[in-house]
């Protein structure tokens, strides 16, 4: 055992200084000799055919090395991999499917030369009338059999919906809509591709180095071992850097063609066409309940938009199936196609949009029944997972409601709409539940303890800005009995032991148990070496009588009897000790339904004359298993709630109906909250000791805190004004 309590401490980010001093090499910062610069040129129409790409003028521009257009490169095909298709036209397919579709890349000696040359390319195309809006798309709707790359059915039912409806005393039947939204990470997507013979190295902005390695290898038809992906720092991903994208493929192809390294950094405006988006949804929701507030039926039909060439369903009903104990349920998906790129995962895909509908409808039901919104949720609390009928691995949702209500002073709420005022501001209080599943994947970790005192812990995971470096350092240091400063955690290189993609909030629950296992195994090995070594002061003692602290190995009863990692290795004549361990979700853990939960409470002030909405207070209480670092965890929550406020009040991507161009594809026109929009937040965790999820009891956290925020705000706006806004974002015009 060790005596080091480091897990849970609010340790500062171990990479914090590197980041704030600008020394952390993000992908586009990596300095490469002989580098060339690629600039992608795109379709400016949303539907039609390419007739000709005239590169003659551009090719003569200064510094131009090569121009690669889609019809010169047979490798630029529609590629199915890991479910998603990246569409680039091929020489056999001249179709334009959306505005912004990549048509090729200019490679030049400098970025400016490449940009200038790209502006000289003439694309002659034949334009057809595109389908852009949901209203247009809805004329051809279909019901997909399965969703989310085949892992979820397109329709889920339990019980008998008709009899559930018949049993209801009160029914809420409404349509909730959410717009297209974009991820907008601060760091745009970037890639540097370099070949050495048949081997490709990509410095890549990615949430998944291993999946990118497999994906690009499949596209280029080379063995994965010939590909190395490096991503040491990522300036946010949120889902838009989860899948392999066509700019990366273009960079690899261009670098092979020009026989020099090629760097492509997407422009901010290209970030609105090249990396996916959160799809627009229209959600029909029915809730039926008895007059005592017991749900008798839930139906949730989610219609979302996808591209012409690939199916991506926004799984809005994911939480609907498991959140409340309701015997009769139907969740169903419908898809319609528009001339846009394919949507993708965006922070809490499914839950973020779907819980806006469900938790708004619950508030409508609470009003209709004249039952307090928390009380209504408690009356329908699911003591087991109502869909799988499995017990929860842990669930502290009731504590989240209770603690949140207490901190927020919910009991002071006057339930009557328009009853609370502050001068000309109408005050409203609203709340909602949050939930997100805890998944995990197989992870390998290598621990190396060196005779010179260095300790390295390595795993091919990612830090997407969330704090992976920091929390894994803490887990390793605690298990090894070392101060955290003595442990270096390495990640972000496909040459390291394999770890899963950083998405779906699985990193902590996947990687932390593996780090703990490998570091514990290394410590045990060290102790064994000491007790077996006649020259050690610990020779012959039992392992259980020995403890490790600050790198010193003591006999518990006699602190003078001590050894150390470095001395043990020196005496054995070893330079280092190396241990690799792997963890996977245990069969036992599959007997439980694994979810994180939370409750969000907000106060809004609505200007009665102007309809302007200001969020004044936020209280979020979350139960996400064991929290590895209260500071990084709190930062995740603050980020998630902030995004939820943006989703509720500001975010919306608009495409012009004629050419399908994203209007205002930049950070000044696409509205997101700034500091002045965000109130003081009170964040609290209900600590759980989940014995089933994994050996450390860690659950998902990253995506959880955006869930429910938009509903809580909409519910608060209703409480303030008596107006129910079922269409996001809630802008002042909708209140006037
Ligand atoms: Mo997350 S939307 O799975 O990156």
The reported pLDDT for the residue numbered 689 is 96
CA of 519 to the centre of ligand 1 (A): 28
* CA 735 to centroid of ligand 1, rounded, Å: 32
Q: Is residue 409 within 8 Å of 565, Cβ to Cβ?
A: no
Residue-wise pLDDT for 212-230, tens only, equals 999 899 888 899 999 999 9
Q: Which residue has the higher pLDDT, 71 or 482?
A: 482
Which of ligand 1's atoms lies nearest the C-alpha of 207? 4
d(CA 492, CA 185): 18
Distance CA 150, CA 142 (A): 16
Higher pLDDT, 77 or 202: 202
What's the CA-to-centroid distance between 2 and ligand 1, angstroms?
A: 35
Tally the C-alpha atoms within 13 A of residue 327's C-alpha that lie toward its C-beta. Answer: 12
Mean pLDDT value of segment 614-625 = 98
CA angle 649/652/654 to nearest 5° reads 150
* Residue pLDDT, tens place only, 426-481: 999 999 999 999 999 999 999 999 999 999 999 999 999 999 999 999 999 999 99
CA–CA distances in Å: residue 409 to residues 401, 404, 414, 429, 600: 12, 8, 11, 10, 13
What pLDDT is recorded for position 390? 98
Residues 484-495: pLDDT tens digits? 999 999 999 999
> Residue 242 C-alpha to ligand 1 middle, in angstroms?
7
Cα dihedral sign, 726-729-733-736: positive
pLDDT at 31 over 70: yes
**Ligand 1 pocket mutation, candidates 151, 275, 353, 503, criterion most atoms within 8 A of CB:** 503
Rounded average pLDDT over 344-366? 98
Return the pLDDT at 75.
47
Which of helix, strand or coil describes residue 41? Answer: strand
**Residue 219, pLDDT score:** 84
In percent, the amount of the chain with pLDDT more than 70 equals 97
- 437 C-alpha to center of ligand 1: Å? 12
In this prediction, residues 506-515 reach a mean pLDDT of: 98
Mutate to test the pocket of ligand 1, among 82, 243, 349 (most ligand atoms within 8 A of CB): 349
Atom of ligand 1 nearest to the CA of 349: 2
Statement: residue 276 has pLDDT above 70:
yes
Nearest by Cα to 106 from 243, 216, 264, 236: 264
Identify the CA nearest to 449 among candidates 543, 538, 580, 556. Answer: 580
Which of these, 464, 513, 465, 461, lies nearest to 489 by C-alpha position? Answer: 461
3-state secondary structure 554-622: EECCEEEEEEEHHHHHHHHCCCEEEEEEEECCCCHHHHCECEEEEEEEEEEEEECCCCCEEEEEEEEEE
pLDDT (tens digit per residue) in 59-102: 999 999 999 987 765 444 444 444 566 666 555 678 899 999 99
Q: Is the pTM of this model over 0.95?
A: yes
Look at residue 420 in the predicted model and tell me its pLDDT: 96
pLDDT at residue 265 greater than cutoff 80: yes
Q: Which of 187, 567, 581, 703 is catalytic?
A: 703
Determine the longest span between alpha carbons in the chain, in angstroms: 85
Atom of ligand 1 nearest to the CA of 504: 3
The residue contributing the CA closest to ligand 1 atom 4 is 239
- Residue 149 — pLDDT band, cuts 50, 70, 90? confident
User: Residue 171: is its pLDDT beyond 60?
Assistant: yes
Q: Which residues line ligand 1 (CB under 6 A)?
A: 207, 237-239, 242, 345-347, 349, 503-504
Mean pLDDT of 228-247: 96
Q: 703 catalytic, yes or no?
A: yes
pLDDT at 614: 98
Residue-averaged pLDDT of the chain: 95
> What is residue 150's predicted lDDT score, i.e. its pLDDT?
78
343: pLDDT strictly greater than 80 = yes
Note the pLDDT of residue 550.
Answer: 84
| Atom number of ligand 1 nearest to Cα 502 | 4
Ligand 1 atom closest to residue 344's alpha carbon, by position in its atom list: 2
Q: What is the pLDDT of residue 478?
A: 96
- The predicted pLDDT at position 101 comes to 92
Q: Which of 483, 447, 490 shows the shortest CA–CA distance to 576?
A: 447
- Over residues 674-733, the pLDDT tens digits come to 999 999 899 999 999 999 999 999 999 999 999 999 999 999 999 999 999 999 999 999
pLDDT score, position 94: 86
Q: Which domains does the chain have, with CATH numbers?
A: 32-129+186-236+241-274 (3.30.365.10), 146-180+277-439+591-735 (3.30.365.10), 441-584 (3.30.365.10)
Distance CA 619, CA 601 (A): 5
pLDDT given for residue 78 in this prediction: 47
- Distance from Cα 583 to the centre of ligand 1, integer Å: 22
């Amino acid at each position: 055992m060790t005596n080091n309590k480091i897990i849970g401490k609010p340790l500062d980010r171990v990479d914090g200084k590197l980041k704030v001093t600008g020394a952390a090499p993000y992908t586009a910062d990596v300095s490469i000799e002989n580098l060339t610069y690629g600039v992608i040129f795109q379709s400016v129409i949303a539907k039609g055919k390419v007739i000709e790409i005239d590169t003659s003028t551009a090719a003569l521009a200064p510094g131009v090395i090569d121009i690669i257009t889609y019809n010169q490169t047979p490798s630029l095909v529609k590629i199915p991999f890991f479910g998603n298709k990246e569409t680039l036209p091929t020489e056999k397919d001249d179709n334009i499917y959306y505005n912004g579709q990549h048509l090729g890349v200019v490679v030049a000696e400098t970025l400016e030369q490449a940009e200038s040359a790209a502006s000289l390319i003439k694309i002659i195309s034949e334009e057809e009338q595109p389908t852009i809006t949901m209203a247009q798309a809805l004329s051809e709707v279909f019901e997909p059999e399965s969703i989310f790359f085949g892992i979820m059915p397109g329709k889920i039912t339990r019980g008998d919906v008709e009899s559930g409806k018949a049993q209801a005393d009160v029914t809420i039947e409404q349509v909730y809509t959410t717009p297209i939204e974009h991820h907008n990470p601060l760091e745009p997507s970037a890639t540097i591709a370099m070949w050495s013979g048949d081997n490709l190295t990509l410095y890549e902005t990615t949430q998944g180095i291993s999946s990118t390695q497999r994906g690009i290898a499949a596209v280029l038809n080379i063995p994965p071992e010939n590909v190395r992906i490096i991503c040491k720092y990522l300036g946010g991903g949120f889902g838009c850097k989860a899948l392999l994208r066509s700019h990366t493929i273009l960079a690899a192809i261009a670098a092979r063609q020009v026989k020099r390294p090629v760097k492509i950094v997407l422009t901010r405006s290209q970030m609105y066409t090249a990396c996916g988006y959160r799809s627009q949804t229209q959600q029909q929701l029915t809730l039926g309940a008895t007059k005592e507030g017991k749900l008798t039926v839930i139906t949730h039909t989610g219609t979302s938009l996808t591209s012409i060439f690939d199916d991506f369903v926004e799984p809005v009903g994911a939480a609907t199936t498991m959140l409340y104990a309701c015997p009769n349920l139907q969740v169903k998906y419908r898809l319609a196609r528009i001339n846009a790129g394919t949507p993708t995962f965006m922070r809490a895909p499914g839950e973020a949009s779907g819980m806006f509908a469900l938790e708004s409808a619950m508030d409508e039901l609470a009003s209709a029944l004249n039952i307090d919104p928390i009380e209504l949720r408690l009356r329908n609390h699911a003591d087991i997972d109502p869909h799988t009928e499995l017990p929860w691995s842990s669930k502290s949702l009731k504590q989240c409601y209770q603690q949140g209500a207490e901190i927020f002073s919910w009991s002071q709420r006057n339930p009557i709409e328009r009853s609370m005022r502050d001068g000309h501001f109408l005050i409203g209080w609203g709340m909602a539940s949050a939930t997100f599943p805890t998944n995990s994947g197989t992870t390998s970790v290598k621990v190396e303890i060196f005779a010179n005192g260095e300790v390295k812990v390595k795993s091919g995971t990612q830090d997407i800005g969330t704090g992976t470096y920091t929390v894994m350092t803490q887990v390793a240091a605690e298990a090894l009995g070392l101060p955290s400063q003595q442990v270096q955690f390495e990640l972000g290189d496909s040459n390291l032991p394999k770890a899963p993609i950083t998405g779906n909030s699985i990193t902590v629950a996947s990687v932390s148990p593996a780090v703990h296992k490998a570091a514990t195994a290394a410590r045990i090995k060290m102790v064994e070496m000491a007790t077996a070594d006649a020259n050690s002061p610990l020779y012959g003692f039992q392992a259980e009588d020995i403890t490790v602290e600050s790198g010193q190995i003591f006999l518990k009863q006699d602190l003078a009897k001590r050894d150390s990692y470095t001395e043990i290795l020196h005496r054995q004549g070893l330079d280092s000790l190396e241990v690799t361990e792997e963890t996977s979700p245990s069969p036992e853990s599959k007997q439980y339904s694994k979810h994180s939960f939370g409750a969000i409470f907000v106060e809004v002030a609505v200007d009665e004359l102007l309809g302007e909405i200001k969020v004044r207070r936020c209280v979020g209480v979350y139960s996400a298993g064991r929290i590895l670092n209260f500071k990084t965890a709190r930062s995740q929550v603050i980020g998630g709630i902030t995004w939820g406020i943006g989703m509720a009040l500001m975010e919306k991507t608009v495409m012009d109906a004629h050419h399908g161009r994203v209007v205002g594809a930049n950070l000044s026109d696409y509205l997101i909250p700034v500091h002045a929009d965000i109130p003081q937040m009170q964040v609290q965790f209900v600590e759980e000791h989940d014995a089933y999820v994994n050996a450390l009891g860690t659950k998902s956290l990253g995506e959880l805190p955006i869930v429910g925020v938009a509903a809580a705000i909409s519910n608060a706006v209703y409480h303030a004004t008596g107006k129910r806004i079922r269409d996001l974002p809630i802008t002042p015009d909708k209140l006037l």
